[in-house]
Chains A and B, each alone.
Chain A
Amino acid sequence: MLEEIKVRLETSVPGCDPEIILNSSPSGQHSMLLDAAHAVAAATFLRDDAELRLDYCSNVTGVDWLETEHSHGYLEAVYHLYSMERKHGPVVLRLRTENRTDKVHLPSLTPVWRSAEFQEREIYDLYGIIFDGHPDLRRILMWDEFEDHPMRKDYVEPNDYEYEPTAHDEVLTKAKQHAEQQPQ
């Protein structure tokens, strides 16, 4: 089914070049990689096409792929689409950023499927992907003044250790260091 969708996407959305990514687990849920420039047009086509009618975006997931010897690292947003009208699915879309550091923009699919609104906010909050075109992109689970993005694989918790009066051993030495460092 994904091959047919790929062919129809190539004809209906000019310039779109989806790549099918195979899934080696027994679940058989293969996915389609879209490029950021044509993502919104492709999504609108998938939603409105008479045969597919993928009107229900069930799940939006953020994934953090670290640098390996094969690829520079990137962040990814995975969309699971179903059709409530035709009762078929899932069709899995993937959008990838260019790298994990500065080029982390992706187009938001919230104008196409409103169910992505809170989920894209969560991916921004926890992974740091900035969705262009999202109506209200701000942190959703962490508090507003929080820094950094916790779900990334290289996230290190801030060292905001609080002094513990009954500490002992290594906890006591660490607390003593902090008591010296921070001006009271």
Chain B
Amino acid sequence: MTTAPVKEEMHEDLAADGSQDELLEIALGPHHPSTHGVFRMDVVLDGERVVKLKPVFGYLHRNHEKIAESASYLASMPYTDRLDYICSLTNNWAYALAVEKLAGLQVPERAEYIRVITAELTRLVNHTATIGFLTQEMGASGTPLMYAFREREKILDLFESLTGSRMMCNYMRFGGCRVELPSGWLEQTKKIVEEFPRFLDEYEQLLTGNEIFMARAQGVGVLERDLAINAGVTGPMLRASGVNYDVRKVDKYGIYDRFDFKIPLGEHGDVYDRYMVRMLEMRESLKILNQALRDLPQGPIMDPKAKIRGFRPKPGEAYGRIEAPKGELGFYLISDGSPNPYRYRVRPPSLINLTVLEDMCRGYSVADTIVIFGTVDIVLGEVDR
């Protein structure tokens, strides 16, 4: 942590207190091993307690939205991989969904099932990484993290054999998927999905009843229900505060209404609830995966009427959203009839979830701040675009 002073405005309104010379201003980041990327938090500390916290980001701003205005619709697809660079397939699906809404394209059955399979595998990839890093931030120097990454690597190998790349998959197209499943992929996936619950049990045995984990996680960083709804928080953070809102169940995009799965909800909205919601979501994802792998039909993976080259949707606009592992990921597109979008907007879940970071961290120590920040689960590629 550096001790670079923050700007004057930070403690102008603390001057009346008279105790301002006991307060310490610190910039946590942007070079910091626990800030999940180039992210800075200007904190004002009273001893170890956080009094004020302002998140500062924009270090990874790559003007993705402006580039999309001068590129065609399809040319933006590889850029969407790099938004939330851990979960590239769900980013692709969200963008493809928005364009399909804009142009009125239909997706064949097999492609829908493949999309669900890859999206739920991506959810496993993301949640293992998040929980692994959470334990790392609590001080378990890397061992549970590496156990989680061991499982994650198996799924990334699946992605590599399917799409050619572990993380920047660029797999969805408007009207279907890019390439057919290679031979042997289904059997490999089924094997991994069968073995995954045993890993989750092993992990939970280490963490869920662990005294140290519970002491550091329970009651820390509580987010109230009403604040969560008003601040637009989505994803596991929202459901840990007890709000039953999952875009898969509300919008029923794709073919999610055919699968039988539950939505885990938390009661207290603290770090422990967010961890448990993610663990339970992984189990529900395995349920969906089992059903999807069982029911996968034969058929084409691409809408035969979809035009790949010279794609010009009619003028209009569309907002398409999915339940990405981090929250609600939405794309808002305005078309003016030309091959490039007039306005291309990404609704980033990580950015909106950061709105309540100050509210959750006030009054807790610096160590707790890092843990709370870890459960917000941000990726700077998405926050800054």
Most buried by A among B66, B328, B332: B332
The range of chain B's interface size is: 35 or more
**Residues from chain A with Cβ under 8 Å of B313 in the complex:** 25
The answer to whether B245 and A119 touch across the interface, beta carbons within 8 angstroms, is no
Interface residues of chain A, those whose CB is within 8 Å of chain B, are: 23-27, 29, 31, 55-59, 61, 63-64, 78, 80, 84, 87, 90, 92, 113-119, 139-143, 150-151
Partner of B317, one of A29, A57, A117, A143: A29
Measured in the bound complex, the distance between the Cα atoms of B126 and A68 in whole Å is 46
Interface residues of chain B, those whose CB is within 8 Å of chain A, are: 57-58, 61, 63, 65-66, 101-104, 227, 229-233, 243, 245, 250, 313-321, 328, 330, 332, 334-335, 342-343, 345, 347, 351-352, 354-356, 384
| Distance (whole angstroms) from the CB of B53 to the closest CB of chain A | 13
The answer to whether A118 and B352 touch across the interface, beta carbons within 8 angstroms, is yes
Most buried by B among A58, A64, A116, A142: A58
Given A59-B319, A150-B63 in contact, is the A26-B103 Cβ separation under 8 Å?
yes
| Distance (whole angstroms) from the CB of A134 to the closest CB of chain B | 13
| Distance (whole angstroms) from the CB of A53 to the closest CB of chain B | 10
Measured CB to CB, the nearest residue on chain A to B7 is: A144
The answer to whether B63 and A59 touch across the interface, beta carbons within 8 angstroms, is no
Measured in the bound complex, the distance between the Cα atoms of B381 and A135 in whole Å is 26
Measured in the bound complex, the distance between the Cα atoms of B356 and A151 in whole Å is 26
The answer to whether B232 and A56 touch across the interface, beta carbons within 8 angstroms, is yes
Measured in the bound complex, the distance between the Cα atoms of B61 and A151 in whole Å is 12
Q: Secondary structure of the B side of the interface?
A: mixed
The answer to whether B332 and A80 touch across the interface, beta carbons within 8 angstroms, is yes
Given A59-B347, A61-B343 in contact, is the A118-B335 Cβ separation under 8 Å?
no
| Distance (whole angstroms) from the CB of B71 to the closest CB of chain A | 15
The answer to whether A25 and B61 touch across the interface, beta carbons within 8 angstroms, is no
Given A25-B103, A114-B230, A114-B232 in contact, is the A59-B345 Cβ separation under 8 Å?
yes
Given A25-B318, A87-B245, A150-B63 in contact, is the A141-B57 Cβ separation under 8 Å?
yes
Measured in the bound complex, the distance between the Cα atoms of B58 and A143 in whole Å is 8
**Residues from chain B with Cβ under 8 Å of A27 in the complex:** 101-102, 104, 316-320
| Distance (whole angstroms) from the CB of B233 to the closest CB of chain A | 8
| Distance (whole angstroms) from the CB of B320 to the closest CB of chain A | 8
| Distance (whole angstroms) from the CB of B315 to the closest CB of chain A | 6
Measured in the bound complex, the distance between the Cα atoms of B352 and A29 in whole Å is 23
Partner of B321, one of A25, A58, A116, A139: A58
Given A58-B347, A61-B343, A80-B319 in contact, is the A25-B314 Cβ separation under 8 Å?
yes
**Residues from chain A with Cβ under 8 Å of B345 in the complex:** 59, 61
The answer to whether A55 and B229 touch across the interface, beta carbons within 8 angstroms, is yes
The answer to whether B355 and A114 touch across the interface, beta carbons within 8 angstroms, is yes
The answer to whether A26 and B355 touch across the interface, beta carbons within 8 angstroms, is no
**Residues from chain A with Cβ under 8 Å of B243 in the complex:** 84
The answer to whether A57 and B232 touch across the interface, beta carbons within 8 angstroms, is yes
The answer to whether B61 and A142 touch across the interface, beta carbons within 8 angstroms, is yes
Measured CB to CB, the nearest residue on chain A to B347 is: A59
List 21 contacting pairs A-B, 8 Å CB cutoff, sorted by A.
A25-B313, A25-B314, A25-B335, A27-B101, A27-B104, A31-B317, A58-B347, A59-B347, A61-B332, A63-B334, A64-B343, A78-B332, A80-B319, A80-B330, A84-B245, A114-B232, A115-B233, A118-B354, A140-B58, A141-B58, A151-B66
Measured CB to CB, the nearest residue on chain B to A21 is: B317
The answer to whether A87 and B250 touch across the interface, beta carbons within 8 angstroms, is yes
- 9 smallest CB-CB distances across A and B, nearest first, come from A115-B232, A25-B316, A26-B104, A27-B318, A141-B58, A59-B347, A27-B101, A114-B231, A61-B345
| Distance (whole angstroms) from the CB of A145 to the closest CB of chain B | 12
| Distance (whole angstroms) from the CB of B311 to the closest CB of chain A | 14
| Distance (whole angstroms) from the CB of A174 to the closest CB of chain B | 23
| Distance (whole angstroms) from the CB of A146 to the closest CB of chain B | 10
Partner of A115, one of B61, B230, B335, B342: B230
Measured CB to CB, the nearest residue on chain B to A138 is: B9
Given A114-B232, A150-B66 in contact, is the A25-B315 Cβ separation under 8 Å?
yes
Most buried by B among A56, A63, A80, A117: A56
